[in-house]
Amino acid sequence: MAEQSGVHNVMRGTAEYVLQIGHVHGDVTVHLPPAADPVERAASALARSIRVQWAAELNAWDLTSAEPLSVRWTANWPTALRSTAHGDRITTVVDDFLGLHHRRLVVLGGPGAGKSTLAVLLTLELTDRCLSARRARHDGEGGDARPVPVPVVLTLESWDPYREHFHVWLARRITEEHPGLPPVDGRHPAARLVQDRRILPVLDGLDELPEHRRSLVVREIDRALGEQDAVVLTSRTREYRTGEEAGAAIGRAAVMEAQPVGLAEATGYLLRSAAPQVRRNWKLLLDAVDQQPDGPIAQALTSPLMIWLARRGFGARPADPLDLLRRPFLSREAVESHLLDLIIPAVFPQQPHAPDRLHAPRQWNARRSGHWLAYLAGRLSARRTTELAWWDLHRTALVRAAMLPALLLVCLVLSEVASTGVGWFAAGQADRSVFGGKGFHAWGLELALSGGLLHGMAVWIAVEAWFGFKRGQPRRRTNPFRIGAALRSAGRAASVGRALKASAVIVVPATLFTFVVSGAYDPRPYVVMIVCSTVLAPLLMVTLAAPSDTEDASTPDEVLASERTAAWLSVCTVAVLIGIGQGAHGWYREGEGTFEAGTARAVAGWFGASAMLLLMSLWSRWLLAKGCLALAGRVPWSLMEFLRDAYHGGLLQRSGGVYRFRHLRLQEHLAARTGNIAPRAPQQQAPWQPPPPRTHPAPRTPPSPAFAGAAAPGFREVLAEAERAPLSSLKNWTVHTDEHIFRAEGRGRRVALGHWPVVMFFAVMTVIRSGVNGNWLPALMGLLFWCCFGTLIMVVAYLLPPQRQELCMTTAYLEFRVGRGRARLAWADVQDVAVRKFIRRKWDTKLYALHVRPHPGAPQPARSFRSGDGWFMVLPLSTSEVAPPDLAAALRRFAGARWRPPVDFATPRSPHVTIHNEISGQAHAGGVIQAGSVHGDITDGRPDPRGAGRDPGDG
């Protein structure tokens, strides 16, 4: 009947099960869809991860709860598409962008104009398009000829164009932030996605870079872009236009520039989004602002950032919008500063939260929260970065000074615990003769403890070699209980060369030791030690350190939790294996082996390995840094919880396991409280013109009380100020300079600093080895010995005959000499000149020197000048990144645009704000009062008796 009725069932689509009811006559044909391409699968996984990440960021910024603010953008498309766009029509912008032949876009605007918000909205829309296109291709509906690239938002401050190509850096950042993407050909797909043009880098923070780096970064990006490469770059207008005038611009790129928000749009948005209890006061304020469209409040409300700050700051009582009318604001900057001050009390209110809230934030004191955030912002500004990484908090003078006392305290605690445990173990034995009546020190545990320390150090070095010596860079770890997945992840993260280096760290010492003891001792304890400490312990440590296989982006809390888990697992597993290897010498000792002696050795070896693995972990450094800073009152004890609440309140954003202030203007404002930087001048302000040169010395004026709370400059800044003296003023140096030549000759003594990390490493090992064993006098004597040994190396290096150093520059060439080495380069062969650290044979000397980088293919100096990454040392300078003023002036004259001057340490830390007050007219009250300290001259231009204006330069 079925054949006569001609029933023919066809099913198209995606289904897990298909049921056919009735009798089946004939064949059943199943056409399965083709297997997904690995690159396509990896791109889709990356797009989903980025979609989830930045949707959460947009929600944390409080941009999804209210009606969006309409921001007008002026677009300069290479083709005749559209000339204007609005922030609430993001689909139109994406359509125009994807329709470009060269998908390159530069987003410009003033501070707080909404550039980052537009970049995130573009990212979310493009990820939706990317995923929709993949679903369409999977369902057989075809797709565009040009696939939609996956947008990846990155900050430019982590890229050093001198060290990495743009595409290499892009692949590395994707690998670090998304370690668990589906592999392609057995490896992480980041490099393949970049190679196949499936990535759209959305680059933020160009204006946050130092001035001398911006043009170089833009040039290197433009040079790396191919015909089909896409990019989105955001920057403040003035910074990008300045580089563009110097020839640093993204070629064939469309440009979108934010326009100021109209007063009508701003007032309408604030009224629509205002809470009912404060809407009446908002109406009164905005009516008053409408009557003064050129007033400071109206000018401040042209920025989307200030509009958001006003909405959040006056969102609920007791904050009152009418407070803006009660205060006599004289300028737009004063209004903006007031709005920036309001955001912290708004984010950390004193009212209790709803009891049924799922993740209710903790109640923080607003004043103390502002103090903590100001310290963190000042620290970031002092280090010239915007990324707040928890694993970098120990890089402060306070924490480094506390490291040695903390180490001694840890050793004391471990010693007491070990002594108590051994005494308890000895008291429970029937035969006390094995202890010799001397307790803990009678077992010869010092050798076992030292063995545990050495094996723990060897395992740590082997793991670092396996993963490329990325010390100080944490990552979210894989699940160690999934051994197969963890080993596969560790294998993908390594290379053949790194694996051989890691094996050599373990195998070579073990082999030599085996040859030494073979035939002379019982081989059983050494076999156990080699199997446990040389094979199983490194293998397990590599498994624990393997990067995560999840596709989601890492968050700071997840990275910290992963490091904490890995530290404790290494103590409970890796250190135990090392301890078993040490205990075998007591269990299998010929004629004297006992269970008690072996167990005691195992415990001692476990203590030594645990101390080494814990102290080398980033989690222990984080605990020390948080404890020291919290005791000093600079951060709260629950720092990660505080940062998490600040993130949910919209003050911070998360990117790749680090926090960043949501806006650079907020970081600068908070940092100015600590005196680390002066507030950046607003973009609308005209450039300040310096006064005429003084012909008389200005009297010293005592500092103003307003600056009394400014932070004192750090040791590095003081040292840099001392080393900023001209070359001509230094002893044994002669300098001749004119418009045609600059010649400097002198003799410099060697300053040896690069050995101190190794010396201090052995000093710490000595303290741990003796301190855990309870021998405090040998511990202190060992510390003193290593410190004296390091000082002796410095003294011997300084007492060696001084090196002859010469530097000669003309308009045609650069010639230099250090010791017996001499080189000469034509300026046409030199690409860049900069002050950077001198790296001798991959060893950081801790010294800065003047360097040159020749063009590819140009003649190069001798190997003795080589400093790595294509740079060559020209002239040793000092321990700080500074250049003598006469040398810097000569480089500006002869090297021209090749010279990349270092950032001046004194400038960002100056607490002084340049104020230029001017009064026009006559003061009939009898005088003009200038409040505060006066730095410089006061020019009084009085009218002469004839009525003509007197020239201020006349006296």
CATH of the domain at 160: 3.40.50.300
More confident residue, 856 or 953: 856
pLDDT at 723 over 50: yes
- Which of the 8 DSSP states describes residue 536? I
Chain centroid, CA 630 distance in Å: 22
pLDDT exceeding 70 applies to what percent of the chain?
72
Q: Kindly report which listed range (290-294, 649-653, 675-679) carries the lowest average pLDDT score.
A: 675-679
Q: By residue range, what is the domain housing residue 882?
A: 705-710+724-748+802-919
Asked whether residue 743 falls in the same domain as residue 860, the answer is: yes
Q: Quick one: pLDDT at residue 322?
A: 84
Reduced to 3 states (helix: H, G, I; strand: E, B; else coil), residue 303 is: coil
* Pairing assessment for the beta strands 104-109 and 254-258 based on DSSP bridges: parallel
Q: How confident is the model at residue 636 (pLDDT cuts 50, 70, 90)?
A: very high
Q: Do 463 and 477 form a contact (C-beta atoms < 8 A)?
A: no
- How large is the average pLDDT for residues 132-149? 70
CA angle 279, 364, 312 (to 5 degrees): 25
Q: Do 814 and 830 form a contact (C-beta atoms < 8 A)?
A: yes
- Which of the 8 DSSP states describes residue 378? H
pLDDT at 928 over 50: no
Q: Quick one: pLDDT at residue 907?
A: 42
pLDDT at 219 over 80: yes
Q: Is position 52 within any domain?
A: yes
pLDDT exceeding 90 applies to what percent of the chain?
8
Q: Quick one: pLDDT at residue 519?
A: 58
CA angle 568, 571, 576 (to 5 degrees): 145
Q: Is position 538 within any domain?
A: yes
- How large is the average pLDDT for residues 384-406? 82
Over residues 516-532, the pLDDT tens digits come to 666 556 777 778 888 88
pLDDT at 98 over 50: yes
Q: How many CB atoms lie within 10 A of CB 516?
A: 11
Asked whether residue 505 falls in the same domain as residue 577, the answer is: yes
* Pairing assessment for the beta strands 84-86 and 104-109 based on DSSP bridges: unpaired
- How large is the average pLDDT for residues 611-621? 84
Helix, strand, coil abundance in the chain, percent, nearest 5 = 50, 15, 35
Asked whether residue 434 falls in the same domain as residue 468, the answer is: no
Asked whether residue 671 falls in the same domain as residue 757, the answer is: no
Q: Is position 421 within any domain?
A: yes
Cα–Cα distance, 185 to 492 (Å, whole number) = 10
Q: Is position 57 within any domain?
A: yes
Q: Kindly report which listed range (253-262, 430-439, 715-724, 881-890) carries the lowest average pLDDT score.
A: 430-439
Q: Quick one: pLDDT at residue 423?
A: 55
Q: How confident is the model at residue 376 (pLDDT cuts 50, 70, 90)?
A: very high
Cα–Cα distance, 847 to 838 (Å, whole number) = 6
Q: Is position 949 within any domain?
A: no
Report which secondary-structure segment, H or E, holds 105: strand 104-109
Q: Quick one: pLDDT at residue 743?
A: 92
Q: Give helix 756-772 / helix 445-466 axis angle, nearest 10°.
A: 140
Q: Is position 367 within any domain?
A: yes
- Which of the 8 DSSP states describes residue 904? P
Burial of 259 (0-12, 13-18, 19+ CB in 10 A): middle
- pTM (predicted TM-score): 0.68
Q: Is position 839 within any domain?
A: yes
Asked whether residue 326 falls in the same domain as residue 369, the answer is: no
Domain endpoint, select from 216, 234, 258: 258
Arithmetic mean of pLDDT over the chain: 75
Q: How confident is the model at residue 436 (pLDDT cuts 50, 70, 90)?
A: very low
Over residues 469-522, the pLDDT tens digits come to 665 667 656 566 666 666 677 776 667 777 787 777 777 777 777 676 665 567
pLDDT at 18 over 60: yes
DSSP for 3-67, written as a single string = HHHT------S--S-----S---S-----PPPPPPHHHHHHHHHHHHHHHHHHHHHHHTT-SSSP
What tokens does 210 get?
Answer: 């130092």
Asked whether residue 886 falls in the same domain as residue 820, the answer is: yes
pLDDT at 894 over 70: yes
The alpha carbons of the chain give a radius of gyration, in whole angstroms, of: 33
pLDDT at 421 over 50: yes
Q: How confident is the model at residue 420 (pLDDT cuts 50, 70, 90)?
A: low
Domain endpoint, select from 766, 784, 799: 799
Reduced to 3 states (helix: H, G, I; strand: E, B; else coil), residue 397 is: helix
DSSP for 206-244, written as a single string = GGGS-HHHHHHHHHHHHHH--TT--EEEEEEHHHHHHHH
Q: How confident is the model at residue 917 (pLDDT cuts 50, 70, 90)?
A: very low
Asked whether residue 367 falls in the same domain as residue 461, the answer is: no
Q: Do 214 and 221 form a contact (C-beta atoms < 8 A)?
A: no
Asked whether residue 542 falls in the same domain as residue 656, the answer is: no
Asked whether residue 487 falls in the same domain as residue 593, the answer is: yes
Q: Do 107 and 118 form a contact (C-beta atoms < 8 A)?
A: yes
Q: How many CB atoms lie within 10 A of CB 438?
A: 9
More confident residue, 659 or 696: 659
Domain endpoint, select from 616, 649, 671: 616
- How large is the average pLDDT for residues 126-146? 73
Q: Quick one: pLDDT at residue 742?
A: 93
Query: How many structural domains comprise the chain?
Result: 6
pLDDT at 398 over 90: no
pLDDT at 709 over 60: no
Per the DSSP assignment, residues forming a β-bridge with 814 are: 809, 825
Asked whether residue 121 falls in the same domain as residue 240, the answer is: yes
CA angle 204, 205, 211 (to 5 degrees): 145
Q: Is position 8 within any domain?
A: no
Asked whether residue 427 falls in the same domain as residue 477, the answer is: no
- Domain at 729, CATH number: 2.30.29
Asked whether residue 734 falls in the same domain as residue 864, the answer is: yes
- How large is the average pLDDT for residues 374-392? 86
Which position has the token pair 């042209």? 302
Residue type, 630: A
